[in-house]
Amino acid sequence: MKHAILSCTGLDKPEGSVAREVAICAADTTGSEIICPVLLNRAPARYKKALSDSSLIVVDGCSTRCATKLATRLEAKVHRKVLVSDAVKAADQALESTLSLGPKGLALAQSIVDELVRNLNAPTATAEPVADFETPTEYLVVMHDKFEFRIPVVDYVFNENDVWARVLDGVARVGISDYMQQKLTDISYFDPPRVGGVVEQFGELGSLESAKAVFEIISPISGTVTAVNPAVIDNPGLINEDPSGAGWLVEMKLTAWPQDQELLLDPAAYAEIVKRKAAEE
Amino acid sequence: MGVPRGQIPWFPTIDYDKCNFCMDCDTFCPHHVFERREGERKLAVANPTNCVVFCRACAKACGPDAISFPSKPETIALIKRIREQEAVK
C-alpha cells in the first residue's frame, strides 16, 4: 500500500525542523506523498484522495502533536507515528538550539527515517493470544451525572491508573477500564509494546491516543509481553466498544504473581476510585 | 497503594525556564493538580496529592517538555518500604 506523510511544519522549534526533514527524507525513500498540514487544515478536500488511498504516517515534532490532532479531527486512520521529541530523549543527545538543521539534527532525522522504513517493511508483531478468557457478564456500575461506568467483577484486578488485568494459568490479559475509555473518547491509535519485552509492575505498556490525550498504559503486573491484540491494532475503536472484553490490549506471562496483587485493587475498591475521580472532574 | 497518599512524593514539577503557560496540562488534568494564578508564574502545582500515582499524562501533553516526574522504580521501592514498615507496626 502507498503511504502519505503528514508532518509538523516545524517552523519555531528545532524538533520541528527535524520533523520536516524526516517527512521529506521518508517521502523520498518510500515514494510517498507529503501532506502539508497548513493546507490540509485550510482545504481538506485537496488531500481527500491521498488520505483515502494511502496509509498515513504522522510525524510530530513536539508533544503538542499538532499533526496528530489534525489527523484525528479529520478522522484519518493513522498507520504509523513518529514523535521527534521522544526520539531526542531516546537518543540522549540534545539537538542544536538553532532552527536550521545542524549535523545532530540531520543525523537524528536520518536515524528516525531508517527505523521508520524498517518498521514499515515489518508488520507489527502480534503473536496469537494463548489464554481463553470468558466474556464478562456481571458488572458493578458507577453512575455519575449522565455517565455510567461499568466495572467487570469476575476475576478482574485494577491499578489506580485505570488498567485492568485478569489471570489464567500464568498468563494475564490486560486492558483499560470503561471509565478511561470514556474519558479518552474515540481512541485513534494504539502504540503497542514490543512482543517479548519485559515490563515491571507500573512500567509502560505502550500508549493510546485520542484527540483529547495520550494515555500511557501503566502495567498492573510484572511480566513478559507474549501477545498484542491484532484486532485492536487494526481497529483501536474496539477499545471504546468493548474495553473489558474484545478490546483487550496485550497478554503477558507473569513473573511476579501473586506478589503483584499487593498493590492492586479488586473491582469494589476500583469502583470507589472511579467514584472519587469522577467527582473530582 | 495501601500507603497514605501524602507519603508518596509523586507529582509534577514545572520547569519555569521551559513553560510557555499554554495551560494544556491544566486543561487536560481532571484532578485539579494545577492552578492558574495571577502574576509572572501563571501556573502552579497547587494540589500535588490529587495527582494519580504513576500518571504522567500532563507531561506527555506538554509541548515545551517543561514537566517532570520522579523515578518510577524509586517510587515503587519507597511504597513497598513504607508498606513493610507499616506491617511491622
Per-residue pLDDT reduced to its tens digit, B17-40: 999 999 999 988 989 999 999 988
**What one-character DSSP code corresponds to residue B52?**
P
Is 80 exceeded by the pLDDT of residue A18?
yes
pLDDT on residue A10 = 80
Q: How many CB atoms lie within 10 A of CB A238?
A: 19
ipTM of the complex model: 0.86
Question: Which of chain A's residues have a Cβ under 8 Å away from the Cβ of B57?
Answer: 213-216
Flag if B52 and A161 touch (Cβ within 8 Å).
yes
Structural domains counted in chain A: 2
pLDDT of residue A239: 97
Contact B14, B65 (CB under 8 A): no
A209 within some domain = yes
Both A216 and A151 in one domain: the answer is yes
The answer to whether residue A134 is domain-embedded is: no
- Do A19 and A53 sit in the same domain of this protein? yes
Q: pLDDT tens digit string along A45-84? A: 999 999 999 999 999 999 989 999 899 888 888 889 999 9
A-B Cβ pairs (cutoff 8 Å, strict): 61
Q: Give A122 or B23, the one with higher predicted confidence.
A: B23
Note whether A134 contacts B: Cβ–Cβ < 8 A: no
Query: Quick one: DSSP state of residue B72?
Result: H
Please name which of A147, A150, A202, A212 lies closest in space to residue A174, comparing C-alpha atoms. A202
Is a pLDDT exceeding 70 seen at residue A227? yes
Q: Which residues of B touch A (CB under 8 A)?
A: 1-2, 22, 24, 28, 30-32, 50, 52-57, 59-65, 72-73, 76, 79, 83
What are the grid coordinates assigned to A50, written together? 491521498
- Asked whether the predicted pLDDT for residue B88 surpasses 90, the reply is no
And the C-alpha cell for A148?
455510567
- A179 in the same domain as A256: yes
A91 and A143 housed in the same domain? no
Nearest to A63 among B32, B61, B76 (CB): B61
The pair phi, psi for residue A164, each rounded to 5°, is -105, 160
Domain boundary among A121, A150, A172: A121
CA angle A129, A131, A134 (to 5 degrees): 115
Q: For residue A191, is it within any domain?
A: yes
Give residue B51's pLDDT band: very low, low, confident or very high (50, 70, 90). very high
- Kindly state whether residues A275 and A143 are assigned to the same domain: yes
| Architecture per CATH, B6-88 | 2-Layer Sandwich (3.30)
* CA of A31 vs chain B CAs: smallest distance (Å): 30
CB-CB contact of A164 with A139 (8 Å): no
Q: What's the mean pLDDT in B40-61?
A: 93
Instruction: Give the structural domain span for A198.
Output: 139-280
Nearest CA distance, A24 vs chain B (angstrom): 23
**Could you report the per-residue pLDDT of A125-163, keeping only the tens digit for each?**
666 777 788 888 899 999 998 899 999 998 999 999 999
Q: Which tops the pLDDT comparison, B48 or A146?
A: B48
Sequence ranges of the domains in chain B? 6-88
Predicted local distance difference test score (pLDDT) of residue A281: 78
pLDDT of A121 > 80? The answer is no
Check residues B12 and A263 and name the one with the higher pLDDT. Answer: B12
**The pLDDT value given to residue B10:** 97
**Residue A124: its pLDDT value, please?**
63
Give A-chain residues touching B61 at CB under 8 angstroms: 63-64, 213-214
Say whether B30 and A64 touch across the interface (CB within 8 A): no
Over residues A182-213, the pLDDT tens digits come to: 999 999 999 999 999 999 999 999 999 988 88
Domain annotation covers residue A127? no
CB B15 within 8 A of CB B66: yes
- Residues of B with CB below 8 A from A159's CB? 54
Encode pLDDT of A84-120 as tens digits: 999 999 998 889 989 999 999 999 999 999 999 988 8
- Model confidence band, residue B55 (pLDDT cutoffs 50, 70, 90): very high
Which of the listed residues A121, A153, A176 is the one where a domain comes to its end? A121
Is A155 a domain residue? yes
Structural domain contains residue A126 = no
